[in-house]
Structure 1
Amino acid sequence: MDDFIERFGAERVWAATVATLVAIVGLGALLFPQQVYVEFIWQYYWGPVVADAHSWNCVAWADGQQLSCEEVGTTGVGPTAEPGYTFVSYAGYVPTLVLLLVGIIFLLRRLGIERFRRAFFALFPFMLFGGALRVVEDANAAAFATTGEMAIQLPWSGLIISPLIYFTVFFIALFALVASIWLDRKGYVSGYEYPLAGFGTALLTLTIAYLAYVAATEPYAQFYPLIPLVILVGATLTTAITWAAIGRYAPELNRGTESMGIVVIWAHAVDGVANVIGLDWATSLGLPANLVPKHPINRAIAETTADVLPADIVSLTGSAWPFLLVKIAAAVFIIWIFDETVFEDSPRYAILLMITVVAVGLGPGTRDMLRATFGV
């Protein structure tokens, strides 16, 4: 196998693998539409996106129509799908993610990017943009629930629903990165990181402006300014306390990540605080109801806390606060893992993984914060 890759080149083998897989799936869907498209692609990949877009608990395939399971009943319909992930969908998404990461590594080599740490900070606005963009779909689902019409119709709205939104944001960031490098090498800017950060900031600003416009003009959204204020202040204080504790008691933990460690902790603190506020204290800050956890880990932690602690304690502290502790512990562990040797041996791969780590925390955290901020 190594001889084969060396002979034809790793990039060509990667491209041929991707092309072959796409061809197999596409040809199978054309030749066997019921078995390949309806009972596999639709049921496990597109159906969950359709259900999520409509805020349905279940969507059914009914002779080519995609209808709520409650509407069509349980007889005479094809497969059904629910929002979220299954073992089958994970079996498809994980290899796809691996192939994508390999492709990113090849691309970074081709582009010859330097100043990796600056690239990390320049991509920070895109991580916020991804979470904000997901809230656009939350507002879209709220519009459908209220008016029966979507502001953004399928299939376009599917591009901003998990997991497709990760690919959408990735390709947008990739386009911005290539454009920024072109501007740098043409001498229009003094470094690619400046226009790259500018692209991300502009996209984030436009997305939040759209959500603010919806909140100001539509009945299904409202603006609750205390939500982002409390979450951002809480996350920043949590980060400051954690960072000070590391500096005093274990400074060796952050010799590899350096100032990037602050971003890692803050990103996961935002996710943790947003969950605590949204799940337990949203009504205290003006929302008509507390949010419902969207991810199984959040839900499991909240339910376990409620089961273990006495009811009178939970009424005072809420049940989501252990999630914040878990997120901070995970962030500190990540900082410890990424020591000096990781960045010295493979700086390109280390920065790529660091970006992924921050995105995993900041994307969901930004979404939860903005969902509560705009009441969707």
Structure 2
Amino acid sequence: MVLPEGFVLPPWYLLVPLLAVLGGVVALLWALDPPVTDRTVLALTPWMMFGATLHVLHRFGAYPDSIEVLFATPTVYLITATGAGLVWVLSIFIYTGGLQPTIERVLGTVGTGFFVVFTMFAILQSLESGTFEPFWSVIAVVAAGIATAIAWLVLGLWFTDVAAVTATTGVLVIFGHALDAVSTAIGYDVLNAGEEVPLSALILNAGSALPTAEFIGAGWLFVVVKVALVMGILGLFREFVEDAPRQARLLLAFIAAVGFGPGIHNVILFAVA
């Protein structure tokens, strides 16, 4: 099994129009050719988190049966990307019209608003059912922040050029994947949650086979492997960011989303389930 558990595509009559709209948005953004900087990647981060929230609500059966498949993996992220792209296009026109000083302000503000509103909806549902417990969610975020700080310190001291070139985008990539790794480790070691991604499950099983598993659990190996992997990816991107910063930062934003999506999903799920 290669694909994660729960991976399902919607029927063609829903998937084809979605892909057509997404393709149109991508083509329009390509034509507008907006700048892509660290601020752009930062403004896209709430959208990554918003997609995770939509998927959590899917797990709770919050959507009508006719469209609930659109909010399963991976289609929920296609929908989120379409929404983010449309708001990005709107932000460009608002900026061009002189109504806002930057493109990123509108893009980031709208994404943050959507994320907060839908997350609060999930939390309110959890409060009503008496299942709200944020302790392990807070621990995951704090631990991921510590892991990110250590990783960035290593990059800054021994691979200074990588840290300098990737800058804020690099921090976001590391934090997104550290959050995914730490939350997965907590779910596996503390909350007895299963792992849906086969490769991740393989690493966790390897950690369980180590003598240290009895004392500090199995998840630490997953955290170390994943953080080390993204640090290596940032190293490979150094010249790419220097030579083609726009394309490189967009690709790094996608890599960050691969971490932020599952990470935020786990954090919210821990709190509301």
**TM-score of the superposition, structure 2-length normalised?**
0.88
RMSD: 2.6
Shift, 1:336, TM fit: 0.3
Letter in 1 for 2:207: T
Structure 2 unmatched runs, 5+? 10-14
Task: Quote the Cα distance in structure 2 between the aligned partners of 1:279 and 1:296.
Answer: 14
Match of 1:300 among 202, 207, 211: 202
Letter in 2 for 1:227: W
Shift, 1:104, TM fit: 6.6
Task: Quote the Cα distance in structure 2 between the aligned partners of 1:138 and 1:168.
Answer: 16
8 A Cα contact 1:274 1:365, kept in partner: yes
The secondary structure found in structure 1 opposite 2:101 is coil
8 A Cα contact 2:26 2:85, kept in partner: no
The structure having more radius of gyration, on CA atoms, is 1
Match of 2:113 among 176, 188, 202: 202
8 A Cα contact 1:138 1:371, kept in partner: no
After superposition, where does 1:206-221 map in structure 2 within 5 Å? 206-218=117-129
8 A Cα contact 2:7 2:74, kept in partner: no
Spell out, residue by residue over 1:205-255, the C-alpha distance to the aligned partner (whole angstroms, 9 max, x if none): 011111111101236xx1112112101110111111111122122212223
8 A Cα contact 2:189 2:219, kept in partner: yes
Structure 1 unmatched runs, 5+? 1-47, 53-81, 87-92, 141-150, 283-289
8 A Cα contact 2:36 2:246, kept in partner: no
Spell out, residue by residue over 1:122-169, the C-alpha distance to the aligned partner (whole angstroms, 9 max, x if none): 1111111111221111222xxxxxxxxxx4222321111111112110
Task: Quote the Cα distance in structure 2 between the aligned partners of 1:365 and 1:226.
Answer: 15
Shift, 1:102, TM fit: 8.1
Alignment-derived partner of residue 184 in structure 1: 95
Alignment-derived partner of residue 79 in structure 2: 168
Shift, 1:172, TM fit: 0.8
Note if 1:309 corresponds to 2:210.
Answer: yes
Shift, 1:196, TM fit: 0.5
Would the alpha carbon gap of residues 298 and 158 (structure 1) be closer, same or farther in structure 2, given more than 3 Å must change? same
Alignment-derived partner of residue 26 in structure 1: none
Task: Quote the Cα distance in structure 2 between the aligned partners of 1:302 and 1:338.
Answer: 28
Match of 2:66 among 130, 155, 158: 155
Note if 1:361 corresponds to 2:259.
Answer: yes
Task: Quote the Cα distance in structure 2 between the aligned partners of 1:101 and 1:349.
Answer: 18
Task: Quote the Cα distance in structure 2 between the aligned partners of 1:234 and 1:134.
Answer: 23
Match of 1:262 among 171, 176, 189: 171
Shift, 1:194, TM fit: 0.2
8 A Cα contact 1:298 1:320, kept in partner: no
Would the alpha carbon gap of residues 101 and 250 (structure 1) be closer, same or farther in structure 2, given more than 3 Å must change? farther
Alignment-derived partner of residue 84 in structure 1: 7
Task: Quote the Cα distance in structure 2 between the aligned partners of 1:277 and 1:162.
Answer: 22
Shift, 1:179, TM fit: 1.4
Note if 1:345 corresponds to 2:243.
Answer: yes
Shift, 1:188, TM fit: 1.1
Note if 1:239 corresponds to 2:148.
Answer: yes
Task: Quote the Cα distance in structure 2 between the aligned partners of 1:321 and 1:123.
Answer: 29
Shift, 1:367, TM fit: 0.7
Shift, 1:187, TM fit: 1.3
Alignment-derived partner of residue 71 in structure 1: none
Alignment-derived partner of residue 321 in structure 1: 220
8 A Cα contact 2:53 2:115, kept in partner: yes
Note if 1:281 corresponds to 2:190.
Answer: yes
Note if 1:193 corresponds to 2:193.
Answer: no
- The 10-residue stretch of structure 1 (355-364 or 102-111) with the greater mean CA deviation from structure 2: 102-111
The secondary structure found in structure 2 opposite 1:338 is helix
Task: Quote the Cα distance in structure 1 between the aligned partners of 2:112 and 2:167.
Answer: 24
Question: How many residues align structurally?
Answer: 264
Shift, 1:121, TM fit: 1.2
Alignment-derived partner of residue 226 in structure 1: 135
Task: Quote the Cα distance in structure 2 between the aligned partners of 1:252 and 1:178.
Answer: 33
The secondary structure found in structure 2 opposite 1:154 is coil
Match of 1:139 among 60, 76, 79: 60
Alignment-derived partner of residue 12 in structure 2: none
The secondary structure found in structure 2 opposite 1:255 is helix
**TM-score of the superposition, structure 1-length normalised?**
0.65
The secondary structure found in structure 1 opposite 2:167 is coil
8 A Cα contact 2:29 2:89, kept in partner: no
The secondary structure found in structure 2 opposite 1:109 is helix
Spell out, residue by residue over 1:175-208, the C-alpha distance to the aligned partner (whole angstroms, 9 max, x if none): 1111111211111111111010001100110111
